[in-house]
Amino acid sequence: MAAQPKPLPVEGPHYLEGGGILGWLTTVDHKRVAVLYGVTALLLMLVGGTEAMLIRTQLMRPDNHVLTAAWYNQIFTMHGTTMIFLVIMPLETGFFANFLIPLQIGARDVAFPRINALSYWLFLAGAVFMHLGLVTHVLNLGTVPSGLPNAGWFGYANLTESQYSPGLNIDFWDIGLLILGVSSVLAALNFFVTIVNMRAPGMTFMRMPMFMWAILVTTILILLAFPALTVGLIFLFLDRFFGTHFYRVTAGATPILWQHLFWIFGHPEVYIMALPAFGMISEILPVFSRKPLFGYPMMAYSLVLIAFLSYGVWGHHMFATGMGPIADATFAITSMLIAIPTGIKVFSWIATVWGGRLRFTTAMLFALAFIIEFTIGGLSGIMHASAPIDLQQTDSYFVVAHFHYVLGGGVLFAILGAFYYWCPKISGRMLDETLGKWQFWLLVIGFNLTFFPMHWLGTWGMPRRIYTYAPGMGWSTLNFVETIGAYIQAVSFIVFFANILLTLRRGEKAAADPWDGRTLEWSVASPPPAYNFAVLPEGGSRDDFWVQKYGTLAGAHGGGSSAAGATAAAHAAAEAAEHIHMPAPSLYPLLFALGVFLMGVGALAWLRIVILGGMVVALSIIAMAFEYPAHGEEAAESEPVFYRGVDNRKAGMWAFLGSECVFFTALISTYMVYKSRNLAGPDAQILNIPLTSFSTFILLMSSLLMVLALAAFRRGDDKWGRIWLLGTAGFGCIFLGGQVYEFTDFYLQGLYMQTNIFGQTFYTLVGTHGFHVFIGVCWLVTLAIAGFLGKIDSKRSLAVEIAGLYWHFVDVVWIVIFTLVYLMRTVKHA
């Protein structure tokens, strides 16, 4: 079959050219942000790999003393934390998704370029902050012991309490993860809106590349899973800094609360890492099999079903905690059900390869190995859906083998395959295939030599997380073999990094479409220009670029553009590129992240640094809001007709509020469980119902004023718009004043946050909501001031509408809190 001529990419300056160091510090180009993510995550992969080698060296022989027990705990904790939060997630979502989303959906950039840049700088701040303890330890700074986090990457209570971890180690871990969580949520919000709102015309959801489906579902998981972890980390922060006892049994609490909050996040987190890998494999296999992806609709639906079921399986991590037969049975059933959509994907990948004209490139080898290794991990995972089997295997090396086959042999193999597949597009140069295949075989041999024997060790009773073991346990030989396998893996990654460095230095230049790809990213030059597409494409079919080249998904004749037509299109596109409006660079995302970093340092060192950091954050937010006041209007005029009238900010706010719903649900649920566990001191009887009823009425009336403010701005009545905005903010201040009075009264009656379990849950829940009200008041005052300065008018009333959505949400949340905390207390004690 003769191929039709390929569409010609527009030649011109690519995204890596120009700007210098300042250009990289202020960039908002999604491709440059992706490169920043990728370089940082690869450096941290070296750190995480070094930690793994130290662990395996320590366990190579019995009674070994390469590491002390204290350092082993720190290295063990940081290896898990690094690989999950600082390597795998950033590479998948920060690097590949960031680079490819606009290119695969036919857009010029992401929905929120500055938020995208902010997510990277917060990621960097969180990664650095988590390692600050090592710096303070080596330099012997301060009087409090410090070092790397040392309670396990899962941070189980009560190991993380100050009584058992008295230094700053866990504080660095807690605050660092909070910063990383904010980064992840911002990135997910940005990607979600980009995929939903900015697809090329004709690219319906059922025509998107499968990688886009995977990222879309992953962003939803992040938005709905991370808030639970955030709540757990806030509780831990309060325990360590303010003397509360959210996880202490003697105070009426339970350490199992942490496990629930952590695994409600933790098992969706497994799929947050796995689903992008599924998407990568689903892009690689069809290209090197020269066949369309088998069962596309079922592959898409299975992603959604996996995400849905992932929220009902967290309890299989907790079978050993004694949840009871009903809970055990429920989580066992859902854990078994989730194997069904996963099996659909495995069989669809096999069917895609079956009968294809296979090209065994390095990317294809990694993709095929992924199917085998991930299936091994999946089969051992199904075993853990059975509570009796799980009770035997939990906390043994069998579990270590299972999740390394899922996340190492599965996810990491997919990431490496994606490097070899998309590196030509990202860097403009081809990774060396010979070195790639050397790396592949070394990694396959080393990986299986390291982790497969762990199944036997776990069955023989070797517990995980042990520092050393006695020589007579029968574990010595397999641990020695595993360590040899780990060193082979280390050699494979040395080959990988050498391949990257050699490619960047003198690698073969890549064509626009070196693999004969199927999706739109291969239709532009390698590396792509800063604007991606001079003329935005029209997604008329699935695998649209393949159809442009060959006429049908199967590759039949017809439908391809003629060489003359392609040349004419290229010239037209080059002319159009001169009038493209791209987002301007900004320094404020970097300053925002710096402010957050200073707040974290101040929490451990000096309150004034917290205040300084907070001021930097506040000023950065205001500056970003008004940095380019006419940017939205200018961009709207330059965008194609099909983008006009679609505002990403409203969709972004709705996505954020969805995440906030989970956040407040976790807080409210904790209060509802804990309020009846009060052991001593004041309880809900102390609540001031009349005062709070009045405050509630005032807050609800403020929503009415917010509606009036928006209506006024929409009809061009700026004066009354400003008045209603200030009125809304004033009512919010009255509400906050009522809360301050109530809290002061409670304090005088002896109810502090540290007094009892009721005090800590009440103050945390109500105080967190009050903080949201305070943020809303500052937002409204800022908008009113902007109105006085003439920056808010009928054309920009959407800024008021978005603030209104936030304000109404805060009011609705308060109705729920008022009903459950205040009114239900009255009914109970009537």
Residue with tokens 């709070």: 692
More confident residue, 116 or 684: 116
Q: CA–CA separation, 320 vs 340, rounded Å?
A: 25
- At position 533, the amino acid (one-letter code) is F
Please enumerate in sequence order all residues whose Cβ is within 8 A of that of 347, keeping only pairs 6 or more positions apart, or say none: none
Q: CA–CA separation, 203 vs 190, rounded Å?
A: 19
pLDDT of residue 619: 94
Q: Is 350's pLDDT higher than 80?
A: yes
**Mean pLDDT computed over 235-240:** 95
For every residue of 140-159, DSSP letters joined together read: T-SSS---S--S-TT--TTT
Read off the pLDDT of residues 776-817 as tens digits, 9 standing for 90 and up.
999 999 999 988 888 887 778 888 999 999 999 999 999 999
Residue 14: strand pairing partners: 529
Residue with tokens 């809970």: 327
271 given a catalytic annotation = yes
Which two tokens mark 755?
Answer: 């007094």
Q: CA–CA separation, 114 vs 481, rounded Å?
A: 49
pLDDT of residue 633: 45
Which two tokens mark 804?
Answer: 């209104």
464 given a catalytic annotation = yes
Given the residues 56, 199, 245, 317, select the one marked as catalytic: 317
Do residues 695 and 738 make contact, with C-beta atoms less than 8 angstroms apart?
yes
Read off the pLDDT of residues 712-722 as tens digits, 9 standing for 90 and up.
999 988 899 99
Query: Average pLDDT, whole number, for the chain?
Result: 90
Q: Is 518's pLDDT higher than 50?
A: yes
Do residues 176 and 127 make contact, with C-beta atoms less than 8 angstroms apart?
yes
pLDDT of residue 4: 43
Read off the pLDDT of residues 762-786 as tens digits, 9 standing for 90 and up.
999 999 999 999 999 999 999 999 8
65 given a catalytic annotation = no
Given the residues 77, 342, 394, 620, select the one marked as catalytic: 342
Residue 429: strand pairing partners: 509
184 given a catalytic annotation = yes
15 given a catalytic annotation = no
Query: If residue 430 lies in a helix (H) or strand (E), which one and from where to where?
Result: strand 429-430
153 given a catalytic annotation = yes
For every residue of 755-821, DSSP letters joined together read: T-HHHHHHHHHHHHHHHHHHHHHHHHHHHHHHHHTT--SGGGTHHHHHHHHHHHHHHHHHHHHIIII
Report CA 249 to chain centroid distance, whole Å. Answer: 32
Given the residues 24, 71, 153, 720, select the one marked as catalytic: 153
Given the residues 31, 114, 245, 267, select the one marked as catalytic: 267
Share of the chain above pLDDT 70, in %: 92
Read off the pLDDT of residues 77-120 as tens digits, 9 standing for 90 and up.
999 999 999 999 999 999 999 999 999 999 999 999 999 999 99
- At position 632, the amino acid (one-letter code) is G
Residue 576's Cβ-count burial label (10 Å; 0-12, 13-18, 19+) is: middle
**Mean pLDDT computed over 358-387:** 94
Given the residues 31, 345, 518, 542, select the one marked as catalytic: 345
Residue with tokens 């001169």: 578
Given the residues 258, 271, 296, 531, select the one marked as catalytic: 271
Please enumerate in sequence order all residues whose Cβ is within 8 A of that of 30, keeping only pairs 6 or more positions apart, or say none: 98, 99, 101, 102, 109, 110, 113, 116
Domains of the chain: 20-577 (1.20.210.10), 681-823 (1.20.120.80)
Q: Is 309's pLDDT higher than 80?
A: yes
Please enumerate in sequence order all residues whose Cβ is within 8 A of that of 713, keeping only pairs 6 or more positions apart, or say none: 721, 787, 792, 793, 794, 797, 800
Q: Is 533's pLDDT higher than 60?
A: yes
The end-to-end CA distance of the chain, in Å, is 83
Read off the pLDDT of residues 242-256 as tens digits, 9 standing for 90 and up.
999 999 998 999 999
Given the residues 269, 432, 521, 544, select the one marked as catalytic: 269
Given the residues 40, 160, 183, 335, select the one marked as catalytic: 183
744 given a catalytic annotation = no
Residue 463: strand pairing partners: 396
260 given a catalytic annotation = no
Going by the DSSP 8-state scheme, the letter that residue 519 receives in this structure is S
Q: CA–CA separation, 268 vs 224, rounded Å?
A: 9
561 given a catalytic annotation = no
Given the residues 27, 219, 254, 282, select the one marked as catalytic: 282
pLDDT of residue 576: 53
269 given a catalytic annotation = yes
Read off the pLDDT of residues 392-422 as tens digits, 9 standing for 90 and up.
999 999 999 999 999 999 999 999 999 999 9
pLDDT of residue 638: 46
pLDDT of residue 635: 46
Read off the pLDDT of residues 24-58 as tens digits, 9 standing for 90 and up.
999 999 999 999 999 999 999 999 999 999 999 99
30 given a catalytic annotation = no
Read off the pLDDT of residues 587-611 as tens digits, 9 standing for 90 and up.
999 999 999 999 999 999 888 999 9
pLDDT of residue 780: 95
432 given a catalytic annotation = no
Q: Is 570's pLDDT higher than 90?
A: no
